[in-house]
């Protein structure tokens, strides 16, 4: 089981200025649910139905290769009024690739997103200011600086580790509940690896958060 660090964006911003780790709402109990690595038919429809059940909107960081395979799933996310964002075409680790290749991979994902969005009505502001999250949270400083000219580069305040089978569903839920705070950007995954864990943890986390007076918004 790996160690997952929460609440450390303040430190990394010394080295990577401008990245979004948490939205500052000191007096507002607002949380930002995000889902990475989809869409896939094994997980995304269940996540969407669960969010509908609680009338919650979230933000989905999508992999371009999955968008090509499952375009109707992407359009369904948008039709249900959730926000979407770029997570590269091949789920690339920015540390391991040249800048040009990394940027081209992001552009490949963006092209697919924009083409599919032509068929769905979404807020203009979502088209004008795009969102990006680097897979694994691994990105070079030069890549980060360049991408911030185009994107809001979004990281996280809370990572649940839902993709880690050794971590277990109870630990995932415990982490999400104990680490959340006003303005937290929280990562779950709509992926094959995560589905059994989030089927347990996500509804319980949402219900506990609502009981504690939190609301949920898109980024």
Bridge partners of 62, per DSSP, are 86
> Cβ atoms within 10 A of the Cβ of 160, count?
29
What local confidence, expressed as pLDDT, does residue 27 receive? 78
Per the residue annotation, which of 27, 36, 49, 164 is the catalytic one? 36
**pLDDT tens per residue, range 133-191:** 999 999 999 999 999 999 999 999 999 999 998 888 999 999 999 999 999 999 999 99
Is 189 an active-site residue? yes
- Is residue 162 part of the annotated active site? The answer reads no
**Which tokens is 161 given?**
């580790």
> Mean pLDDT across the stretch 20-38?
91
Question: Is it the case that residue 1 has pLDDT exceeding 60?
Answer: no
Please provide the CATH number assigned to the domain covering 9-216: 3.20.20.370
189 in helix, strand or coil? strand
Q: Which of 87, 157, 162, 189 is catalytic?
A: 189
State pTM to two decimals: 0.96
* pLDDT given at position 3: 65
CA–CA gap between residue 12 and residue 219 (Å, rounded): 20
Scan for tokens 């490949």, then name that residue: 108
For the chain, give every domain's residue range.
9-216
């Amino acid at each position: 089981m790996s160690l997952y660090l929460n609440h450390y964006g303040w430190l990394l911003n010394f080295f990577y200025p401008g990245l979004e780790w948490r939205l500052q709402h000191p007096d507002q109990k607002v949380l930002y649910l995000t889902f990475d690595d989809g869409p896939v038919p094994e997980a995304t429809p269940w996540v969407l139905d669960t969010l509908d059940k609680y009338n919650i909107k979230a933000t989905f960081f999508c992999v371009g290769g999955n968008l090509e395979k499952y375009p109707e799933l992407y359009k369904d996310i948008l039709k249900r009024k959730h926000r979407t964002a770029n997570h590269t075409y091949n789920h690339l680790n920015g540390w391991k690739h040249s800048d040009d290749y990394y940027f081209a991979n992001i552009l490949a994902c963006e092209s697919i997103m924009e083409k599919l969005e032509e068929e769905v009505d979404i807020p203009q502001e979502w088209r004008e200011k795009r969102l990006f999250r680097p897979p694994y949270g691994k990105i070079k400083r030069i890549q980060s600086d360049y991408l911030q000219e185009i994107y809001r580069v979004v990281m996280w305040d809370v990572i649940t580790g839902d993709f880690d089978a050794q971590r277990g569903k109870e630990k995932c839920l415990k982490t999400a509940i104990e680490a959340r705070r006003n303005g937290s950007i929280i990562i779950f995954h709509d992926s094959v690896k995560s589905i059994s864990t989030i089927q347990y943890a996500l509804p319980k986390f949402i219900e506990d958060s609502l009981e504690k007076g939190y609301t949920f918004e898109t980024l």
